[in-house]
Amino acid sequence: MLPAEAIDTGVVGARHFETRYGLLGKPAQIRFRILDGRHTIGGCSDLTVPVSQFAALRTGVERVFITENEVNALAFPDVESSMVVFGGGYGIERLAQVDWLRCRRVMYWGDIDTHGFAILDRLRASIPSVESLLMDEGTLQAHRRVWGQEDGDKRYLADLMWLTEQERRLFTQLRDNVFEERLRLEQERIGYTWAVDAIRRS
């Protein structure tokens, strides 16, 4: 039995069990795929490792794609000297601990909605050179038939500080319902050929 003073009574819920009782929690993980067979690690191309190990990774890849959707990451085409990282939504901040990313070309592909741009903004705050991919008005308009809607009470409506002029314009149009009420284009709804062509051109 733990003494009462060892229990953090201010922390509740099953997700915070370890914190409440002072137990060692499971370390945050990063999953990534190597997209070029010359850079596999011990012959493995799809790996999940603790953030600290990813931060210590010695790799020769020159470009890192980050995407939120697992299906997209699994379907990512082979790209020379590249890897794709499974982003994990706002957990993207884990990548701020990875110094070697600042020496690579990093491209972020998220949903075209208010949260997609908020996550991009947060990532760019720690990796200023990150570029957006498939988060433009041309992609949005080309996929009108698969537009969806964000939940009305969960949209991100605050100002963003780290977007480019083009990104900020599209974010503002989405936030202000210029095209359609609460518009979103989920990344997995983008046509595969369209996405691969953009990845190849990047």
Q: What is the pLDDT of residues 66-114, one digit of tens each?
A: 999 999 999 999 999 999 999 888 888 899 889 999 999 999 999 999 9
Residue appearing with tokens 């993207």:
92
Q: What is the pTM of this model?
A: 0.87
Q: Given 3.40.50.2000, 1.10.150.130, 3.40.50.800, 3.40.1360.10, which CATH number is that of 15-201?
A: 3.40.1360.10
Helix and strand element counts for the chain (H, E): 7, 8
Q: What is the pLDDT of residues 147-193, one digit of tens each?
A: 999 998 899 999 999 999 999 999 999 999 999 999 999 999 999 99
pLDDT surpasses 70 at 202:
yes
pLDDT at residue 88 in the model = 83
Going from N- to C-terminal start, the domains of the chain cover 15-201
